[in-house]
Amino acid sequence: MALVASVRVPARVLLRAGARLPGAALGRTERAAGGGDGARRFGSQRVLVEPDAGAGVAVMKFKNPPVNSLSLEFLTELVISLEKLENDKSFRGVILTSDRPGVFSAGLDLTEMCGRSPAHYAGYWKAVQELWLRLYQSNLVLVSAINGKGTVGEALRCAQTGWVLRGAVGTCSDHRGACPAGGCLVALTCDYRILADNPRYCIGLNETQLGIIAPFWLKDTLENTIGHRAAERALQLGLLFPPAEALQVGIVDQVVPEEQVQSTALSAIAQWMAIPDHARQLTKAMMRKATASRLVTQRDADVQNFVSFISKDSIQKSLQMYLERLKEEKG
């Protein structure tokens, strides 16, 4: 209770109705196609929400071009969309997926962390914390459908190599990504994770590859998911796992052909929604309470920690160089 109370923010931002995609985009299942007819539509500029109120499911699609970086605005819209769904009793489950070809979310937005004021950094980090807290403690069933298509031909080597890879979840070869680890953050808060079986899609927390570090609560989330030893290795090396490795280490629950990601997500969420809500929610809260509480009780200290770290000259310099290299590659 206290946990939830402390993180609530009012839905104070007016949202524009997102363009509604044809049901086919939902995975061509009858449920999705059929449920769309009478369903209310809501969402925002960067978050499309396709409700299927009959099934009690909404599909939340990330649309923050080019690579769904977690900008401050995008973070805010995500939290507000989630809050609207939480407060609408007709929804019990949400599928998180991408509207952008080739990338689920490239992660935190480096431009929010580079060349700005300490106050900006603080505000940004608070929004990142907020998204995690809301998702991780959500009463809704959350399933991530990690989709995407590679748009760059060359394939960089993944995971086991020393290469700097961009895109926390996306194509390993995606040069457009502004980058680390936020996509994996979103996926790790879900109840179930499905990854498209494309060798160019990688998932992981690659902070160290950029010279920065994951916050303790994200470390805790990863450790809860894949265990202490695997998390220690993955975090130290900043590993990004391609599908087969991701499944083996347990950072995702299922790997399916790309065209089946959405339909698999709908089947999976149906299993979770067959459980009585109150029992499932209490059980979820019991499993996650200790981890969430650690951040709730140290939230300000964590912000201070981030601000002082990211403000360092050496870190700013390294992020600057990284961003410039990205620009050159895009140019």
Catalytic site positions: 108, 182, 206-207
If we measure between CA atoms, which residue out of 222, 219, 226 comes closest to residue 248?
226
Taking the least distance from each CB to a copy of itself, the nearer of 53 and 237 is: 237
Locate 244 and state its tokens. 């087969």
Binding of a copy of itself by 143 (CB under 8 A) = no
If we measure between CA atoms, which residue out of 258, 262, 104, 241 comes closest to residue 174?
104
Q: Which of 237, 247, 323, 326 binds a copy of itself (CB under 8 A)?
A: 237
Q: Say which residues have a Cβ less than 8 Å from residue 260's Cβ, sequence separation at least 6.
A: 27
Taking the least distance from each CB to a copy of itself, the nearer of 78 and 222 is: 222
Contact window for a copy of itself (CB under 8 A) among 82-90, 144-152, 169-177, 281-289:
281-289
Contact window for a copy of itself (CB under 8 A) among 95-103, 124-132, 144-152, 278-286:
278-286
Q: Which of 228, 317, 325, 327 binds a copy of itself (CB under 8 A)?
A: 228
Locate 6 and state its tokens. 């402390």
Buried/exposed code over 176-211 (b: 16+ C-beta within 10 A; e: otherwise): bbbbbbbbbbbbbbbbbbbbbbbebbbbbbbbbbbe
Binding of a copy of itself by 86 (CB under 8 A) = no
How many positions of this chain bind a copy of itself (CB under 8 A)?
47
Rounded Cα distance between 282 and 287, Å, is: 9
Q: Say which residues have a Cβ less than 8 Å from residue 115's Cβ, sequence separation at least 6.
A: 316, 320
Q: Which of 67, 114, 184, 212 binds a copy of itself (CB under 8 A)?
A: 212
Locate 19 and state its tokens. 């363009």
Binding of a copy of itself by 272 (CB under 8 A) = yes
Taking the least distance from each CB to a copy of itself, the nearer of 61 and 288 is: 288
Would you give the DSSP letter of residue 46? Answer: S
Taking the least distance from each CB to a copy of itself, the nearer of 162 and 331 is: 162
User: Under rule CB under 8 A, which residues in 150-189 are in contact with a copy of itself?
Assistant: 160-162
Question: Residue 329 Cβ, how far from a copy of itself at the closest point, in Å?
Answer: 20
If we measure between CA atoms, which residue out of 167, 200, 198, 172 comes closest to residue 184?
167
Binding of a copy of itself by 233 (CB under 8 A) = yes
Binding of a copy of itself by 298 (CB under 8 A) = no
Q: Which of 83, 88, 197, 232 binds a copy of itself (CB under 8 A)?
A: 232
User: Residue 124: how many CA atoms within 13 Å on its side-chain side?
Assistant: 21
Question: Residue 41 Cβ, how far from a copy of itself at the closest point, in Å?
Answer: 29
Rounded Cα distance between 308 and 70, Å, is: 21
Contact window for a copy of itself (CB under 8 A) among 68-76, 80-88, 221-229, 319-327:
221-229
Phi/psi-derived region of residue 93, left when phi > 0, alpha when psi is between -120 and 50, beta in every other case: beta
Question: Residue 139 Cβ, how far from a copy of itself at the closest point, in Å?
Answer: 12
Binding of a copy of itself by 2 (CB under 8 A) = no
Taking the least distance from each CB to a copy of itself, the nearer of 48 and 214 is: 214
**Dihedral (Cα; 170, 172, 173, 178), 10-degree rounding:** 60
Binding of a copy of itself by 207 (CB under 8 A) = yes
Locate 43 and state its tokens. 């969402």
| Positions in the binding site for a copy of itself (CB under 8 A) | 160-162, 191-192, 207-214, 216, 219, 223-229, 231-233, 235-238, 250, 253, 270-272, 274-276, 278-280, 282-284, 286-288, 318
